[in-house]
Amino acid sequence: MDHHSPSLLAALAAVVGDAHVLTGAQDTAPYVAEWRGHYPGIARAVVRPASTAQVSRVVRLCADAGVPLVPQGGNTGLVGGSTPDDSGREIVISLGRMTALRRVDPLDNSITLEAGCKVLAAQQAALECGRLFPLSLASEGSATIGGILSTNAGGEQVLRYGNTRDLTLGLEVVLADGRVLDALTTLRKDNTGYDLKQLFIGAEGTLGIVTAAAFKLYAQPRRTVTGWVALPHPQAAVEILAMLTDAVGERVTAFELLGREALDQVLAHPLDGMRDPLGGGYPWAVLFDVSETSASLDPSGAVEEVLGQALERGLASDAALAASGRQAQEFWSLREHVPEAQRLQGPSLKHDISVAVSAIPAFIEAADTALRAAMPGIRIVCFGHVGDGNLHYNQSKPLGMEDAAFRARAPEIHDIVHGIAAGMQGSISAEHGIGRLKQDAFMRHKSPVALDLMARIKVALDPDGVFNPGRVLPLARRTALGGTP
Amino acid sequence: MDHHSPSLLAALAAVVGDAHVLTGAQDTAPYVAEWRGHYPGIARAVVRPASTAQVSRVVRLCADAGVPLVPQGGNTGLVGGSTPDDSGREIVISLGRMTALRRVDPLDNSITLEAGCKVLAAQQAALECGRLFPLSLASEGSATIGGILSTNAGGEQVLRYGNTRDLTLGLEVVLADGRVLDALTTLRKDNTGYDLKQLFIGAEGTLGIVTAAAFKLYAQPRRTVTGWVALPHPQAAVEILAMLTDAVGERVTAFELLGREALDQVLAHPLDGMRDPLGGGYPWAVLFDVSETSASLDPSGAVEEVLGQALERGLASDAALAASGRQAQEFWSLREHVPEAQRLQGPSLKHDISVAVSAIPAFIEAADTALRAAMPGIRIVCFGHVGDGNLHYNQSKPLGMEDAAFRARAPEIHDIVHGIAAGMQGSISAEHGIGRLKQDAFMRHKSPVALDLMARIKVALDPDGVFNPGRVLPLARRTALGGTP
């Protein structure tokens, strides 16, 4: 196919402009590896269309030439889903120039914007009309609308507002043959046939290229009660969550668990002002936000009552409510500093699992036991969105172990953790997707029936494998099943 | 194919038991026509499996014999999606015996139950453990879990809790070849490949048979503020909704609009105790519920403040809050009595449209004007879930017109209303689905790209057309595209 290349690139340049077909190593560098430098690849070119019509023409040209396209947003992914492989065959299609805010409507509680818009820009546009765009994640200054849709991103407020999928009202998508699916409505109800937009959310760019989207907006919270609670065990976290939900309903906006090792690592490398809100000595902590949108109602009393009951019932050994926005920030900075603190401890193994919320304690018990048996002294850095049943269940090497020896045992450790999650009907990738990184575990733990249906969907929508081939479903798998539906 | 029939029925009886393969006219009568008597058809048999394994074997037998299956829940649908055609070829598969409550977990805020369970039973099971199953609709005593999933039912609390799709965590589905897709988790987050369960929600039984499902549960509301507001025009409803949302956020649980004609028809045939809460004379009314889950917080003050502002700004001419649960019931009975009151006025034409919430006033203006031009004197019965952008925009004949003359013009009236909704990016079926009733309008107003994708999905999942053939997508359409993906 390489003989097509010069004329293909010329044709692409005719569509998007010479300046937006990048081929030099320096120009393409930001697009061919993930932001942490992982998954370095080689792109035949990086193409930067400025409109849906241009995306459509780019897709048609590449489909006709049999050249695969790798859609890319802010390139903040973690699983190798948005960068080219090392074949030099793939063309990266970056949506970064498509940043129009098409419409924001406070009466309709909706916002419609293009795929290249940053998440932060969506939040700001909503705020300017007195509404909340509730998706919030660490990478929000770089992550784009197209990226959060393609990965069904979660983040810090899923408990209250849901994942990206739950926030999505409509999509505009360029299909594998260049046609445009216009499902860009802001309707709250529409039962006319299959809900096609669902197919493209979380598909990691393998079924279509999202060019624009409409999302729900919410009321802005007027006040937030942030609390830090010391707990004897993870079961207490699950029970306090239920008590809080009972008392203040959907106002529980975030509910995060932190294990002692995670806290110790953070406090071993404190940034300025970081300290344990409760003086330390307890095995587990919960950090929560309860937010209230009504100016005239204050949930603090109800929250304090729950904490009082938790102390009485032995579910908590101590608790503090942030006395100011600044103190709330300090509580949260402890949580947010965990990944960086763990990095300073040397190599780490990471898992992004989910189980039913009520199964969190059993998961931790089983996984801790199995890992300590497999590797005495292993340090378990357990934290995450327990309100969503989602743990970042990570490991640091035992003190004194060689880095290489620890890394060599990664497959075994991953297998233990994923096997326990899967055995509890859990997920081996709650937030981050499959991409290339988790494909082996995905193929091993997903049911053959589910994998077969996914392959059928892929063939039905992208029969020639134009979009992000080999991501999510491996190439061989897709080809093997290509003819069956 | 008819020569297969006796041996097929015997094989089915061997799976589900003789008593559960119904063939006599009297036995099959409740299954072969909709509850209002519409869509009378003829079933080769009605099969009533008792387990997922039995459903799987029934599907395999029918698929092998080339006999189509019509899945049926509570048979409360409105669009001819759940009853057999008049060919006598189709077998109805009723899920009514599968009523197990598999699990309810207040810590996980989830409930898992079989497809034949009634919606009311789900509500009661949730209530018994202190939680809310929030889907609520007029037919909840008969409608089943499988039915609300297959139609993505909405109902009275969509504004706060979403449609059935939004409440669904996991599904178990029997596929067209009899295999079982086990996606019956209660995970809040799972980004491992395509979200297959979405395909079966709202698919009206054309892609698979849902045998069990897991749903989110919520906190039970502790108190509800119910209000009735007199308005000068529909725009005021949209603005008051925004003000209420601003003041009390997601606590706005229901927000219904009623036009004068709807109220007049209800009050022309009042049930005992029914009267206008505000004495009448205003052109539009809004009925709303604001519900609070916290025992220690009372949103009444915030609601009263909003109503005061609305009166001041001329958005409302009068308003009343229900002083008791009984009075709240009386307010709601006016709303719920509209369909029956309209029936007493003679023949009616019905539409279940949706547009963006902010576009509701423009829709009403445009549709009223077009209908009055087409048929002077037509009585427009406009009411519905304005908070969801969903109107039941119905018509009664002009006083003095012959029934037959009015009915003869139904296609023209439908076209006008659907055309205006579609022209505003709206939906011609917000809640009720397509089935057979709305297929013509669906084919006319849905984009060809969307229809093509739906046909590809149908072929990918049910290549031989075993499930509910001719519903949603017409047979001819599917066949014409059958080979293309």
Contacts of A246 in chain B (CB under 8 A): 130, 219, 293
In the CATH hierarchy, which fold is given to the domain comprising B8-94?
Answer: 3.30.43
Confidence of residue B270 (pLDDT cuts 50, 70, 90): confident
pLDDT digits (tens, 9 = 90+) for B162-201: 999 999 999 999 999 999 999 999 999 999 999 999 999 9
* Minimal-distance CA residue of chain A relative to B152: A191
Question: Across the interface, do B194 and A218 touch by the CB < 8 Å criterion?
Answer: no
Residue among B151, B296, B461 whose CB faces A456 most closely = B461
Residues in chain A: 485
Taking a C-beta distance cutoff of 8 angstroms, is the pair B80, B38 a contact? yes
What number of other Cβ atoms are within 10 A of residue B125's Cβ?
Answer: 18
Residue B221 token pair: 């509301």
Query: Which residues are bridge partners to A58 per DSSP?
Result: none
The interface residues of chain A toward chain B in range 145-184, judged by CB-CB distance below 8 A, are: 151-152, 154, 158-159, 163, 165-166, 175, 179-184
Residue among B163, B201, B297 whose CB faces A299 most closely = B297
Give the torsion through C-alpha atoms of B22, B26, B31, B35, to 10 deg: -170
Question: Across the interface, do B182 and A447 touch by the CB < 8 Å criterion?
Answer: yes
Task: Say how far apart CA A349 and CA A409 lie, in whole Å.
Answer: 10
pLDDT digits (tens, 9 = 90+) for B85-139: 999 999 999 999 999 999 999 999 999 999 999 999 999 999 999 999 999 998 9
Task: Say how far apart CA A111 and CA A123 lie, in whole Å.
Answer: 10
Question: Across the interface, do B293 and A250 touch by the CB < 8 Å criterion?
Answer: yes
Confidence of residue B5 (pLDDT cuts 50, 70, 90): low
Question: Across the interface, do A461 and B456 touch by the CB < 8 Å criterion?
Answer: yes
Highest mean pLDDT: which of A31-35, A205-209, A480-484, B434-438? Answer: A205-209
Q: Give the distance, in angstroms, between the CA of residue A8 and the centroid of all CA atoms in the same chain.
A: 34
Strands A284-292 and A252-259: antiparallel
Task: Say how far apart CA A421 and CA A445 lie, in whole Å.
Answer: 10
Confidence of residue A20 (pLDDT cuts 50, 70, 90): very high
Cβ-based neighbours of A112, under 8 Å, separated by 6 or more? A101, A102, A103, A104, A170, A184, A186, A212, A213, A214, A215
Distance (Å) of CA A18 to CA A47, A52, A63, A191, B65 = 10, 18, 20, 44, 59
Task: Say how far apart CA A156 and CA A139 lie, in whole Å.
Answer: 11
Q: Which of B150, B27, B141 is nearest to B77 (CA)?
A: B150
Task: Say how far apart CA B264 and CA B281 lie, in whole Å.
Answer: 10
Q: Which residues of chain B are in CATH 3.30.70.2190 domains?
A: 222-345
State the DSSP string of A59-124.
HHHHHHHT--EEEESS---SSS-SS--TTS--EEEE-TT---EEEEETTTTEEEEETTSBHHHHHH
Give the predicted TM-score (pTM) of the model.
0.95
pLDDT digits (tens, 9 = 90+) for A348-379: 999 999 999 999 999 999 999 999 999 999 99
CB-based burial label for B37 (10 Å; 0-12, 13-18, 19+): exposed
Main-chain phi, psi angles of A150, to 5 degrees:
-70, -20
pLDDT of residue B2: 46
Task: Say how far apart CA B170 and CA A267 lie, in whole Å.
Answer: 40
Greatest C-alpha distance within chain A: 75
SS3 A57: helix
Residue A222 predicted with pLDDT over 60: yes
Q: Which of B115, B163, B117, B171 is nearest to B137 (CA)?
A: B163
pLDDT digits (tens, 9 = 90+) for A167-212: 999 999 999 999 999 999 999 999 999 999 999 999 999 999 999 9
pLDDT digits (tens, 9 = 90+) for A71-114: 999 999 989 999 999 999 999 999 999 999 999 999 999 999 99
Question: Across the interface, do B354 and A154 touch by the CB < 8 Å criterion?
Answer: no
pLDDT of residue A418: 97
SS3 B392: strand
Question: Across the interface, do A456 and B453 touch by the CB < 8 Å criterion?
Answer: no
pLDDT of residue B155: 85
Q: Which residues of chain A are in CATH 3.30.465.10 domains?
A: 101-219
Question: Across the interface, do B251 and A196 touch by the CB < 8 Å criterion?
Answer: no
* Minimal-distance CA residue of chain A relative to B105: A358
Distance (Å) of CA A82 to CA A44, A73, A107, A148, A270 = 15, 8, 36, 12, 33
Q: Which of A290, A285, A224, A228 is nearest to A253 (CA)?
A: A290
Q: Which of B162, B363, B344, B163 is nearest to B257 (CA)?
A: B363
Question: Across the interface, do B248 and A293 touch by the CB < 8 Å criterion?
Answer: yes
Assess if CATH 3.30.70.2190 describes domain A222-345. yes
Distance (Å) of CA B350 to CA A343, B78, B247 = 63, 11, 34
Residue among B302, B425, B426 whose CB faces A297 most closely = B302
Helices assigned H by DSSP within B249-323 = 260-268, 300-312
Residue among A108, A189, A302 whose CB faces B390 most closely = A189
Residue A465 predicted with pLDDT over 50: yes
B454 CB within 8 Å of a chain A CB: yes
Q: Which of B94, B92, B125, B11 is nearest to B57 (CA)?
A: B11
Distance from CA of B473 to the nearest CA of A (A): 8
Contacts of A434 in chain B (CB under 8 A): 191-193
Question: Across the interface, do A191 and B245 touch by the CB < 8 Å criterion?
Answer: no
Assess if CATH 3.65.10.10 describes domain A101-219. no
Residues in chain B: 485
Main-chain phi, psi angles of A325, to 5 degrees:
-60, -35
Confidence of residue B476 (pLDDT cuts 50, 70, 90): low
pLDDT of residue B403: 96
Average pLDDT over residues B331-338: 94
Residue B420 predicted with pLDDT over 80: yes
Task: Say how far apart CA A414 and CA A444 lie, in whole Å.
Answer: 12
pLDDT digits (tens, 9 = 90+) for B215-246: 999 999 999 999 999 999 999 999 999 999 99
Confidence of residue A476 (pLDDT cuts 50, 70, 90): low
Contacts of A429 in chain B (CB under 8 A): 190-192
Task: Say how far apart CA A261 and CA A395 lie, in whole Å.
Answer: 10
The interface residues of chain A toward chain B in range 58-87, judged by CB-CB distance below 8 A, are: none
Taking a C-beta distance cutoff of 8 angstroms, is the pair A155, A136 a contact? yes
* Minimal-distance CA residue of chain A relative to B357: A108
Distance from CA of A276 to the nearest CA of B (A): 28
Residue among B195, B463, B472 whose CB faces A193 most closely = B472
Helix (H) or strand (E) holding B338: helix B338-344
Confidence of residue A5 (pLDDT cuts 50, 70, 90): low
Total CB pairs under 8 A between chain A and B: 303
Residue A195 token pair: 């809900």
pLDDT of residue B305: 96
pLDDT of residue B37: 80
pLDDT of residue B480: 36
Contacts of B251 in chain A (CB under 8 A): 294
In the CATH hierarchy, which fold is given to the domain comprising B346-462?
Answer: Alpha-Beta Plaits (3.30.70)
Contacts of B151 in chain A (CB under 8 A): 191
Residue among A166, A302, A430 whose CB faces B191 most closely = A430
Buried b (16+ CB within 10 A) or exposed e, B85-96: beeebbbbbbbb
* Minimal-distance CA residue of chain A relative to B445: A192
Average pLDDT over residues A468-481: 72
B280 CB within 8 Å of a chain A CB: no
Exposure on the CB side of residue A394, measured as CA atoms within 13 A: 23
Cβ-based neighbours of B137, under 8 Å, separated by 6 or more? B119, B143, B148, B153, B154, B155, B156
What number of other Cβ atoms are within 10 A of residue A448's Cβ?
Answer: 9
Find where tokens 């059958």 sit.
Answer: B482
pLDDT of residue A270: 85
Residue A151 token pair: 């990965």
B246 CB within 8 Å of a chain A CB: yes
pLDDT of residue A168: 98
pLDDT of residue B478: 43
Residue B372 predicted with pLDDT over 90: yes
The interface residues of chain A toward chain B in range 291-330, judged by CB-CB distance below 8 A, are: 292-299, 301-302, 305
Q: What is the mean pLDDT of chain A?
A: 94
Average pLDDT over residues B359-380: 98
Taking a C-beta distance cutoff of 8 angstroms, is the pair B84, B90 a contact? yes
pLDDT of residue A483: 37
pLDDT of residue A485: 31
> Residue A185 — left, alpha, or beta (φ > 0 → left; ψ -120 to 50 → alpha)?
beta
pLDDT digits (tens, 9 = 90+) for A33-85: 987 788 899 999 999 999 999 999 999 999 999 999 999 999 999 899 999 99
Taking a C-beta distance cutoff of 8 angstroms, is the pair A14, A57 a contact? no
What number of other Cβ atoms are within 10 A of residue A115's Cβ?
Answer: 29
Helix (H) or strand (E) holding B244: helix B234-248
Residue A482 predicted with pLDDT over 90: no
Contacts of A184 in chain B (CB under 8 A): 425
Contacts of A359 in chain B (CB under 8 A): 108
Average pLDDT over residues A284-298: 94
Q: Which residues of chain B are in CATH 3.30.43.10 domains?
A: 8-94
* Minimal-distance CA residue of chain B relative to A221: B249
Distance from CA of B437 to the nearest CA of A (A): 12
